[in-house]
Structure 1
Amino acid sequence: MKNKINKYINTNVDSSTLVVFRVLFGLQMMFSLIRFWAKGWIESIYISPIFHFKYYGFTCVQSLGEYTYLLFFICFLSALFITLGYKYKLSITLFFLSFTYIQLIDKTTYLNHYYFISIVSFFLIFLPANCRFSLDSVKKEISYTNIPKWNIDLIKILIVTVYFYAGIAKINCDWLFRAMPLSLWLPQKYDLLYIGNILSKEWIAFVMSWCGMIFDVLIGIFLFSKAYKNYAYGLVLIFHTLTAILFPKIGMFPFIMMSLTIIFLDKNIHKRFIIKFNSFFSFKSNKETKAIKKGNKYTMSLLACVLIIHILFPLRHNM
């Protein structure tokens, strides 16, 4: 068993997968923050209210008043630098701290994907996502073509955990046998072009309720499957496109998941992405090294513990 663990820890894979994930994560965060700012939510949610509901243990986290705009700007600038791979460790740390601080100001703004973003950004602090196709690698004149496999698997497992527990949460009488709340929500979409009429049918709410549960519970298995991951990603695109159309108030979650689940696709797709964009931006270093060091045992232990907690902790609702 110990030999298998050591072999896994020392297994390397192409770094382009994590690098593409970094770029897409940064772009999504930039767009999300611009959207939040443009809609005036900084003022209406964080500045104007005279009272904010606090998380237990975080009453010290207060609105910064007009300086909240500065906090969002720091968060945006960090996301930009993450995308470019510039001062990456500092940028991802600042992003994690600023984004998490924003979410802790008022618990009524909580959304599952906000928490997910905080956890992903925390993990990325310890992962070498700037090892290639980054301003850091250009400046250091060195890039790494391979990284430890566990760096990528860590993110994959976290994404699958999100889907799996979303499915587990749907296994209840209201969702499956009363089609609630879809039986209330879908008829309101009667004016949608082409599909509005069918959405008003009672049976469609049951079909979508069951399909949603099955998708969430099983999609992780197929995303990890070499034979079916491309088909699974196609289902991810269909599923989240539908949720974005039918439930626009869900915000950026569908777009975040559609972009970040690209991490499951074949490494050659990520390689082509880097080659294509390198032809425009020239993120090329003078020297390429095959592998980056596996990481110290303390970092691996910390990240493993955080991941295990997030896998086991939700079980308290289902035991």
Structure 2
Amino acid sequence: MKNRLFLQIDNAPLIIFRIFLGFLLACETFGAILTGWVNDNLVTPKFTFSHIGMEWLQPLPGNGMYFYFATMGILGLLVMIGYKYRWSLGLFTLLWGGVYFMQKTSYNNHYYLLLLICLIMLFLPADRYGSIDAKQNPQIKKLTMPAWCSWVMILQITIVYFFATLAKFYPGWLEGTFVKNLLERSVTNPALYEIMTQKWFYMFITYAGIGFDLLVVPLLLFKRTRTIAFIASVIFHIFNSITLQIGIFPFFALCFVVFFYPPEKIRSLFLKKKPIAQNVSTITYEGKNTLIYFFIPYFILQLILPLRHYFIKGDVLWTEEGHRLSWRMMLRSRSGDTDFKIINKKTGEPLFYNFSDDLTHKQKSGMETKPDMIWQMAQRIKHHFAEKNIEAAVYANTNVSVNNRPYHALIDPKTDLAAVNWDYFSHCAWVLLPVDK
């Protein structure tokens, strides 16, 4: 196994993946400007719900975020052409990480995956061919790479699909409830709506989703089933792209296929002018320290993070505790409302704060059903009155439903949210646990 990891193979898959990645990074960031995503999530809001502990990370004022995203788009193009590769990708990763931690109203798993892949690519020799860097500095030019460069990408996407499969084994998915609700919300064409909301169709999609996530990687690993798995991947991701409109993710996921095919096949398809490497199949220990000291700890963490919710009291589907960073993709819809009761601790008199004036419609919808965002809103209310030298107690009255199930109180209405902390590693006792979710 050790020898196989350090076997020299043609680096065509990594080179073409860098080109695809850079192009998609540019599409994602320029597209965020053109579609209004930047305006809706980072310019219009008075503040953003950052990840807890990073409340200081807020959007740039004025038109600053447009320049921020335009810079990332340019950096994506530089990654694609391989100019100052590590500097370009490193700066993009830093800026993208800023956006990721800056807001979670529009949290999406593929934003997290993009961040991880950019981080991985920083440690891979993806600029040694087909890049401006290699043309300007021929000393770095190389036609091969150690096989572990492909295997770390395969392992990362395997983790994504495995935990996505595991998360689907709950009644709301297995009964087809969530998929039915999703299609009813997403499909706008009347003819397609008539077909897609029929039970046979949404149940087929339900179990096809499980089957695809579970089997796609194993089928791609074997030569006899590889092309079938690739065709299935194209159909699956194009369907998701059209139906769910989830940006670049379907195309990004398809890019990983290049690491499953023989490197020579990728070279013959995409890099026809690339010379055939003469030193393939030789064993070197190139990147041994990187593999041991970065990638082994990295993948241990990647295996731990999606499991953490199993060690937190309550059902993550309801509490949301441990939901993020766990590849729990497209699993639930939440609806409900939240109101705050604010009391002057010194006088006992009620205080008024219209939180709706501070939030966009999307922020309000997200905040009203998610415990961490409700807590953050309570902290904001607390600080608002503290600036007026008023010590306020903040209570939340909530009514929440998951996947159109019965409504329940989510937050203990007797808990002063201004006086409690958010616990990252265990259950917050003030998040209620109803029997019927």
TM-score by length of 2: 0.65
Contact persistence 2:153–2:256 (CA under 8 A) = no
Partner of 2:21: 25
Deviation at 1:77, TM superposition (A): 1.5
Q: Percent identical across equivalent pairs?
A: 25
- Give 1:187 deviation, angstroms: 4.7
The residue identity in structure 2 corresponding to 1:133 is G
What are the superposed Cα offsets for residues 113-170 of structure 1, whole Å, 9 maximum, x if unpaired? 0000000000111100011111111111242111011111101111121111111111
What does the per-residue CA deviation read over 1:274-307, in whole Å, with 9 as the maximum and x for residues that have no partner?
434x5xxxxx89xx88478611415542122112
Considering only CA atoms, is the larger Rg found in Structure 1 or Structure 2?
2
**Number of aligned positions between the proteins:** 304
Hey, what does 2:300 align to over in structure 1?
A: 308
- TM-aligned CA deviation for residue 318 of structure 1: 4.8
Please give the alpha-carbon distance, in whole angstroms, between the structure 2 residues aligned to 1:60 and 1:293: 43
Q: How does 1:242-261 map to 2 (within 5 A)?
A: 242-248=239-245, 250-261=246-257
Equivalent of 2:162 in 126, 142, 164: 164
Tell me if 1:210 matches 2:207. yes
Offset of residue 110 of structure 1? 1.5
- Work out whether 1:112 is the aligned partner of 2:104: no
Q: Retained in 2: the 8 A contact 1:9–1:294? A: no
Check 1:137–1:63 CA distance in 2 against 1; reply closer, same or farther (3 A cut).
same
**1:93 counterpart residue number:** 90
- Which of 132, 140, 145 is the equivalent residue of 2:129? 132
Q: Deviations over 1:174-229 (max 9, x none)?
A: 1112x022222335637366x55432321211111011011111211112223222
Partner Cα distance (2:22, 2:92) in 1: 10
- Which ranges of structure 2 fall in alignment gaps of 5 or more residues? 312-437
Partner Cα distance (1:36, 1:257) in 2: 19
| Residue pairs, 1:1-319, within 5 angstroms | 4-5=1-2, 7-65=3-61, 66-142=63-139, 143-177=141-175, 179-187=176-184, 189=187, 191=189, 195-248=192-245, 250-276=246-272, 290=279, 294-298=286-290, 300-318=292-310
Residues 30 and 9 of structure 1: CA distance in aligned 2, closer, same or farther (over 3 Å): same
Higher helix share: 1
Asked if the contact 1:198/1:204 (under 8 Å) is kept, the reply is: yes
**Could you tell me which amino acid in structure 1 is paired with residue 91 of structure 2?**
L
Q: Which amino acid aligns with 2:243?
A: L
Distance in 2 of aligned mates of 1:130 and 1:54: 34
Q: Is the 8 A contact 1:103 1:114 kept in 2?
A: yes
TM-score by length of 1: 0.87
Larger RCO (CA under 8 A, 6+ residues apart):
1
Query: Could you say if the C-alpha distance between residues 147 and 268 of structure 1 is closer, same or farther in structure 2, counting changes exceeding 3 Å?
Result: same
Unaligned 5+ runs, structure 1? 279-283
SS of equivalent residue, structure 1 residue 13 = strand
Maintained 8 Å contact 1:103/1:109: no
